[in-house]
Amino acid sequence: MLPQRALVETVAKDSEYIDKVLMASTYISPLNDTSLENILRFDYPDLSRRVFPPPLSSPPKSFNRIQSASDWEDTPGNNDDQKIDYLVAQANQNLHYIILPNDESINSISQKNLYVIVNQHIGQIKKKLLLTGEWTPIGQLQQVDHDEKVQVYRNEKIVP
């Protein structure tokens, strides 16, 4: 949990002047929106009032809400590229911060938990997010598993 705390602290420090901050992981592993929410709620209760993952009821699809094939089918778009474009547009519009794996971790993530559909697309999701030019890495790369390193990215369009 220490790396996840470091990710939360990076967002907290960078966003100290923002009243309401949305952050999200872009894939599902031991690092996910629920684990981040638990860290916020139990380890940083004051911070959890302004920094949080998108709620389950949020209108835009969140990466962590796409686990099964039916979740992927329900994502707007006629094919995988259009679905990824939709998710990227939603992130660009709604999220202040995202957590992305480094390039070396992508293959491992996509091979773990093969039933988690969003993980199969993490390489394309990362590529398309970064091609928008709206996301800047902040903080240190964090090792969250033996074959998984991640970093927080700031949405330059939303975060002043």
Tell me, what's the pLDDT at 59?
A: 43
Tell me, what's the pLDDT at 61?
A: 61
Residues in Cβ contact with 158 at an 8 Å cutoff, skipping those fewer than 6 apart? 95, 96
User: Where would I find the H helices in the chain?
Assistant: 2-14, 33-43, 69-74, 80-94, 103-111, 117-120, 122-131
Q: What is the pLDDT of residues 125-143, one digit of tens each?
A: 999 999 999 999 999 999 9
Q: For residue 142, what are the β-bridge partners?
A: 150
What value does the mean pLDDT of the chain take?
87
Tokens, residue 80 = 């995988």
Q: What gap in Å lies between CA 148 and CA 104, rounded to an integer?
A: 8
Q: How confident is the model at residue 57 (pLDDT cuts 50, 70, 90)?
A: very low
Q: How confident is the model at residue 53 (pLDDT cuts 50, 70, 90)?
A: low
The pLDDT > 90 percentage for the chain reads: 49
